[in-house]
Amino acid sequence: MRTTVLVSEQQDSIRCNVCQWRCALEQGETGRCLVRRREGDAIVALSDGMVSAATIGPVEDYGFRHFFPDSMVLAVGSWGTPFPQHQNDSHHALIPDDPARQRRLDPHRLVQFAQERLVRGLIWAFNDAVVNQEYLLDALRLARAGSRITGIVTGGLWTKAALDQVGPYLDGINLMLYGFRTESYERLTGIKEWRGILAGIEHAVKRWDCHVEITTPIATGINDSAAEIKDIADWIVATLGPQVPWRLIPTLDSDTSAAVHAREIAQKSSLSYVYGADPTEPTRCPSCGWAVIERSGASVRMVGVLDGRCDNCGSELGLRLSVFKQRRE
Ligand code: SF4
């Protein structure tokens, strides 16, 4: 187990600067994520090198719609989440007590496995890798060195310092955006300070040219008001651009009608791509309506895309199809 590099010394404590909790830990104390603990003069990353799940499948399985569509990826995850509300719900939050379930996988071996299976990329998906910074950084670096694309599904609670470590090696982010109100964030994630997530994702796009897609789990009566949906849409358009895909899906314990209604509101915004929960929904050119990506249960096919443009009218579609990053700032 490695120690946390992103720390700063306090009077009687050491502050962890990996995520926006910025826990100040005294001797023996564990951070809000439950996977970092102060031991002596350091903060130990308890889940470093551990893998909770790994599987091969289409990149669309991890919420991406415009990120190298039709690619197969190796999806992986470890233990830990920065969101207290998810610590009881997620199967990938708490490190299991049983040592047999604390499986370790060297990051070199992880990437070697992706290369042997000829998958196009590596996606960190099962837990929120923000709290697995050291392992994540190794995995992304090695994957990019091995010509794999890289992506992550995250709630985006990184600090800028942590994001700047992984940014050069990170191609795509599926941001789980839980709402646009403090009450929504508090009820769905357990955090009150959520606006730093918006600043972080903007930084990921503008500084590191990360491709971003947004997913919002809609919970009935919590984050489904027309005003909140409109505020999210307005923020995406103004900050990230109208071509950023937004997917609105029901939470596990909500009925589908709230998400369907929220999507109808979102479709009235100036966003080009608003998706629901149906994984077979095609992508249509926002200019002419031509079906550019078709999806069935078994396959994804870019049927109307030529050099990233609509094959019918020539409009730029905003897909991420190149591994080359552009430095913007
Ligand atoms: S990763 Fe976040 S929650 Fe965990 S110890 Fe560091 S600052 Fe606290």
For residue range 106-159, what is the model confidence (pLDDT) as tens digits? 999 999 999 999 999 999 999 999 999 999 999 999 999 999 999 999 999 999
Residue 206 included in any domain? yes
Question: Both 30 and 120 in a single domain?
Answer: no
pLDDT at residue 329 above 60?
no
How far, in Å, are 249, 259, 262 from residue 254 at the CA level? 10, 9, 13
Distance between Cα 191 and ligand 1 center (Å): 13
Question: Both 288 and 268 in a single domain?
Answer: no
Question: Both 259 and 294 in a single domain?
Answer: no
Residue nearest to atom 5 of ligand 1 (CA): 31
Residue 321 included in any domain? yes
Choose which residue among 7, 14, 17, 19 to substitute to test ligand 1 binding: the one with the highest number of ligand atoms within 8 A of its C-beta: 19
* pLDDT-derived band at 161, boundaries 50, 70, 90: very high
Ligand 1: nearest atom to the Cα of 17:
7
> What is the pLDDT, as a whole number, of residue 151?
98
Question: Both 226 and 315 in a single domain?
Answer: no
CATH of the domain at 255: 3.20.20.70
Distance between Cα 115 and ligand 1 center (Å): 32
> What is the pLDDT, as a whole number, of residue 327?
64
> What is the pLDDT, as a whole number, of residue 255?
86
Question: Both 73 and 58 in a single domain?
Answer: yes
Q: Residue 210, Cβ neighbours under 10 Å: how many?
A: 23
Between β-strands 36-39 and 42-45, what pairing exists: parallel, antiparallel or unpaired?
Answer: antiparallel
Distance between Cα 131 and ligand 1 center (Å): 7
Residue 258 included in any domain? yes
Question: Both 118 and 259 in a single domain?
Answer: yes
Question: Both 190 and 323 in a single domain?
Answer: no
d(CA 304, CA 251): 32
Question: Both 126 and 250 in a single domain?
Answer: yes
Distance between Cα 48 and ligand 1 center (Å): 13
Domains held by the chain: number: 3
Query: Residue 7: CB within 6 Å of ligand 1?
Result: no
Question: Both 253 and 294 in a single domain?
Answer: no
Over residues 47-57, the pLDDT tens digits come to 999 999 999 99
Residue 259 included in any domain? yes
Residue nearest to atom 7 of ligand 1 (CA): 22
- For residues 269 and 10, the model is more confident at 269
Question: Both 38 and 121 in a single domain?
Answer: no
For 11, the domain range is 7-45
Question: Both 284 and 274 in a single domain?
Answer: no
d(CA 131, CA 288): 43
